[in-house]
């Protein structure tokens, strides 16, 4: 299949920008609140090397929770399936940082894409890596094939000062012995991980790994096994959008992951990866226009995994 996505992207941006943007830019992290709500960009990267884009696809933004897919991937390369002893694979069915289930389920987070689960993954990386921040950054650069990818330290510190809920979560998990490294070290890694900046092109290129069943497209190097790659996609499908995963699956029909910076990465296994960016978030914490753009993409291309 050699499809031309450019006319579809052109139509999407026309439709999406016609309406006023709904939702509000994330404000709980002060640095993020400064971003203009008017940014909008899409970049789609095909396994057949085709690239399509519209809008602000070269402006960098904070990938935030999208980084949880990347840290999970690195953790899997380190300890494999043992990771599933410390974090589950079920949708949470609750707002994204609820403590209820965590307490009820004895400190084992529902899945690696809620904050609690990503903190456990961060703890694993802090235990496995001698220099976690540097090694994680190196790993992400290798996935993206772009050595200019970096943390935004201002964002990382801005989170640290206001991350009381994450501190609550990690202390609660520590009380259940599901955190093994010093809390401050794990939080510092976690806030840096989330602060990574990419533009739409970088993000789409990074997620080609999951469209390409676990191999880097640019080098052919296998990062995770075929089976691990499928499971990563399954996890994104069921857990990638806080408590709106069902809605995204229902309307878009692709695995993906969103972040409060307004970015969404999604993939069509075997075909392409796509990144969208629009900062205003809906009530569930996902980019409003990003959701709409991806729904238009699968509707207009007639393609979804279902």
Decide: is 172 part of the binding site for a second copy (CB under 8 A): yes
How many C-beta atoms lie closer than 10 Å to residue 175's C-beta? 11
DSSP letter at 256 equals E
Decide: is 253 part of the binding site for a second copy (CB under 8 A): yes
Decide: is 24 part of the binding site for a second copy (CB under 8 A): no
* Alpha-carbon span 179 to 96, nearest angstrom: 19
Interacting residues with a second copy between 196 and 235 (CB under 8 A): 226-227, 229-231, 233-235
Decide: is 169 part of the binding site for a second copy (CB under 8 A): yes
Interacting residues with a second copy between 96 and 115 (CB under 8 A): 98-101, 103, 110-111
Report yes or no: 287 and 277 within 8 Å, Cβ to Cβ. yes
Nearer to a second copy, 17 or 172 (CB): 172
Helix (H, G, I), strand (E, B) or coil at 61: strand
Using the contact rule CB under 8 A, the part of the chain among 19-27, 55-63, 242-250, 273-281 near a second copy is: 242-250
Minimum separation from the CB atom of position 278 to a second copy (A): 22
Nearer to a second copy, 59 or 247 (CB): 247
Decide: is 250 part of the binding site for a second copy (CB under 8 A): yes
Report yes or no: 211 and 272 within 8 Å, Cβ to Cβ. yes
Interacting residues with a second copy between 258 and 277 (CB under 8 A): 269
Report yes or no: 29 and 158 within 8 Å, Cβ to Cβ. yes
Query: Which of these, 59, 74, 105, 66, lies nearest to 242 by C-alpha position?
Result: 66
- What number of chain residues touch a second copy (CB under 8 A)? 51
Decide: is 3 part of the binding site for a second copy (CB under 8 A): no
How many C-beta atoms lie closer than 10 Å to residue 306's C-beta? 8
Report yes or no: 179 and 187 within 8 Å, Cβ to Cβ. no
How many C-beta atoms lie closer than 10 Å to residue 151's C-beta? 19
Nearer to a second copy, 197 or 247 (CB): 247
Report yes or no: 255 and 267 within 8 Å, Cβ to Cβ. yes
Nearer to a second copy, 146 or 304 (CB): 304
Decide: is 158 part of the binding site for a second copy (CB under 8 A): no
Could you give the residue ranges of the DSSP H alpha helices within the chain?
Answer: 6-18, 67-79, 100-104, 115-128, 132-144, 153-162, 164-175, 183-194, 200-211, 226-239, 245-251, 288-301
Using the contact rule CB under 8 A, the part of the chain among 30-38, 46-54, 137-145, 241-249 near a second copy is: 241-249
Q: Give the interface with a second copy as residue ranges (CB under 8 A).
A: 88-94, 98-101, 103, 110-111, 164-165, 167-172, 174-175, 226-227, 229-231, 233-235, 237-239, 243-247, 249-251, 253, 255, 269, 299, 302, 304-306
């Amino acid at each position: 299949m050699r499809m031309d996505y450019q006319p579809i992207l052109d139509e999407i941006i026309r439709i999406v920008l016609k309406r006023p943007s709904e939702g509000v830019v994330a404000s709980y992290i002060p640095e993020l609140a400064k971003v203009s709500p008017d940014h909008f960009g899409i970049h789609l990267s095909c396994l057949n090397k085709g690239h399509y884009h519209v809008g602000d696809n070269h402006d960098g933004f904070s990938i935030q929770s999208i980084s949880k897919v990347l840290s999970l991937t690195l953790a899997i390369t380190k300890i494999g399936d043992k990771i599933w002893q410390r974090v589950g694979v079920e949708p949470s069915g609750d707002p994204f940082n609820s403590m209820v289930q965590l307490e009820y389920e004895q400190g084992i987070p529902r899945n690696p894409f809620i904050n609690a689960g990503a903190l456990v993954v961060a703890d694993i990386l802090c235990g496995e890596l001698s220099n976690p921040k540097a090694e994680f950054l190196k790993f992400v650069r290798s996935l993206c094939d772009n050595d200019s990818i970096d943390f935004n330290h201002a964002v990382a510190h801005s989170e640290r000062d206001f991350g009381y809920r994450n501190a609550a979560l990690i202390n609660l998990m520590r009380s259940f012995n599901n955190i093994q490294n010093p809390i401050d070290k794990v939080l510092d890694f976690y806030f840096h991980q989330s602060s990574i900046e990419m533009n739409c092109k970088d993000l789409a290129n990074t997620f080609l790994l999951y469209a390409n069943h676990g191999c880097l497209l640019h080098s052919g190097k296998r990062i995770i096994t075929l089976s691990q790659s499928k499971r990563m996609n399954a996890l994104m499908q069921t857990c990638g959008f806080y408590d709106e995963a069902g809605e995204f699956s229902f309307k878009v029909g692709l695995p993906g992951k969103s972040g409060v910076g307004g970015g969404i990465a999604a993939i069509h296994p075997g075909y392409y990866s796509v990144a969208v960016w629009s900062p205003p978030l809906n009530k569930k914490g996902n980019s409003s226009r990003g959701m709409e753009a991806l729904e238009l993409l699968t509707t207009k291309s007639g393609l979804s995994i279902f």
